[in-house]
Structure 1
Amino acid sequence: MEIEVNRRGDSEVAVISSDSIVIAGLQDALDVMVNLRYSGYEKMVLRKEHLLDDFYELRTGIAGEILQKYTNYGMKIAIVGDFSGYNSKSLNDFIYECNRGNRVFFKATEAEALDALHGVA
């Protein structure tokens, strides 16, 4: 896992890059968050592929558990990818609601993700 920092004014976003899954469960999510927070970052971008497929099956509870922890600890996150292939009304509704808030975003491109994260305090 590598971290590149994207800066705009006083806003910094940690952009994660990896050739493999970065978050396979809650403990991985907490480890990533702690490492980023320790380095002074409160905003992060992950690619869809960096999360275990079960994350996108809402019935598993993994997405809710991870994103609730991130919200509780003040970490803002954007997940980048093409989510149109998921034929789940509940996932589509979840993504829609997340994008209406200011803590969790699902975006098609890294540029959109960075715009969203730099736009929130």
Structure 2
Amino acid sequence: MEVIVDRRNDSKVAVISSDNLIIDSVNDALDLMVTARYHGCDKMLLRKESITEDFFELRTGLAGEILQKYINYNMIFAIVGDFGGYHSKSLNDFIYECNQGTKVQFKRTEAEALDALHEIVV
């Protein structure tokens, strides 16, 4: 796993990349949050391929558990990828609602995600 800190003015985003699955459980998500904080970041970006597919199956409850932990610990993050392959109305509604707020963003490109994250004041 590689962590690169993207900086704009006073905003810092931990950009997480890996060829392997990073989040397969709530504990993995918490470990990742600690890693981002170690790098001085309250915001992070990761690719959807780094997250288990169970996250995108809302009935598993994994997405809700992870989001609740991140919200409780004030970690703002973006997931980058192509979400068009998911045909679940509930997932698409979930993504839409998240994108209306400031805690979680689902973006198509890293540039879009970084722009959105850097605009959020922690």
Instruction: Settle same-fold status: TM greater than 0.5.
Output: yes
Cα shift at 1:51: 0.2
Contact 2:16 2:46 in 1 (8 A): yes
Match of 1:117 in 2: 117
In structure 2, list runs of 5 or more residues that go unmatched.
none
Match of 1:108 in 2: 108
Compute the TM-score of the two structures, normalised by the length of structure 2.
0.97
- Amino acid in structure 2 at the alignment position of 1:69: K
- Is it true that 1:9 corresponds to 2:9 in the alignment? yes
- Is it true that 1:28 corresponds to 2:33 in the alignment? no
- Is it true that 1:82 corresponds to 2:82 in the alignment? yes
Cα-to-partner distance string for 1:64-120 (whole Å, 9 max, x where unaligned):
000110011000000000000000000000000000000100000000000110000
Contact 2:12 2:40 in 1 (8 A): no
Look up the SS of the partner of 1:85 in the other structure.
coil
Aligned residues: 121
- Amino acid in structure 1 at the alignment position of 2:117: L
Look up the SS of the partner of 1:74 in the other structure.
coil
- Is it true that 1:66 corresponds to 2:57 in the alignment? no
Distance in 1, Cα, partners of 2:8 & 2:39: 17
Distance in 2, Cα, partners of 1:50 & 1:100: 23
Identity %: 68
In structure 1, list runs of 5 or more residues that go unmatched.
none
Match of 2:19 in 1: 19
Structure 1 consecutive aligned stretches of length 4 or more whose deviation exceeds 4 Å: none
Compute the TM-score of the two structures, normalised by the length of structure 1.
0.98
State which drifts further: 28-37 or 48-57. Answer: 28-37
